Amino acid sequence: MKSPQQYFLATALGSLVILIIMIYLMVSNMIPIYGGLLIILPLAGINTYLFYIVYQNNYVDSLKKMMLIGMPGVGKTFLYNYLQCKTIQKQKNFQIGTFQELCIIDSPDLDLESQKREIRIKEFQNIFIKFQNSICALLLIVNFERTDLMKSKKFSPLIFLIITDFDKSDNQTEDQKNLKESFKLFQLKKIIFLDKKANKQELYKELLQIQKEMPNALIDLKDTIFEKLDAEDEEKYLEQFKNKMNSQNDLGVTFLKN
């Protein structure tokens, strides 16, 4: 299956060929000049726009990116806006922005307990697959009061933890020491503590250092909820889901009969 980018490129090349033919016919006096211009000018505009889209997509694909991830209400979008990221592309519920040399992906809430669980997993799966060669780090955003939620170890070589609302700490030095000790188990690359008085330039320097030091690595999705299933596995998964739903319905019917 062709990607949208391939369709745009094919359409742009096709319109370019038509444009060249029209110019040739007009120069050769095979069609009237004014009639030719009425066709050529709109076609040239469409062609320029299509090539711009292809260029923009290639540009975004080539950028080294860091993704903000986290549960609802932890401050992902706040951090994205705090850095004054300029959005250069949107993909479903994701927005990709740049600030100076940084490229940040602001992701939707990673709430896997809600009714939108399967939809959200699919969205993350698609973005991981699309940018699996250019996402260099996962910036896990955790609220200071909810650091107990950090449980995943699968992506630990890529994860940098950002703890927000650290101004709520009564003793920042002691809490930093305790949290670093608590998270040793997860082998995190780095922990950044962020409060409302944080200096934007200092945060920028820390994130830029991460982006420069981390290589472009292929994200390993195997054995995670984001792994791309083949047709056979997907069918099995759907069958299991249907059986589970049917069994729950049967229990409901039995309960009503009783």
The CATH number assigned to the domain with range 63-213 reads 3.40.50.300
Per-domain boundaries in the chain: 4-61, 63-213
Residue 96, pLDDT above cutoff 90: yes
Residues 20-25 have a mean pLDDT of 75
Q: What is the pLDDT of residue 94?
A: 94
pLDDT in tens, 107-158: 998 776 666 777 888 888 888 888 888 888 888 888 775 555 444 444 456 6
* Angle (nearest 5°) at CA 16 between 10 and 17: 95
Considering only CA atoms, which of 5, 120, 122 is closest in space to residue 60?
A: 5
Our CA dihedral for 121, 75, 63, 136, rounded to 10 degrees, sits at -70
User: Terminal CA-to-CA distance of the chain, rounded, Å?
Assistant: 52
Which helix (H) or strand (E) segment holds residue 139: the answer is strand 135-143
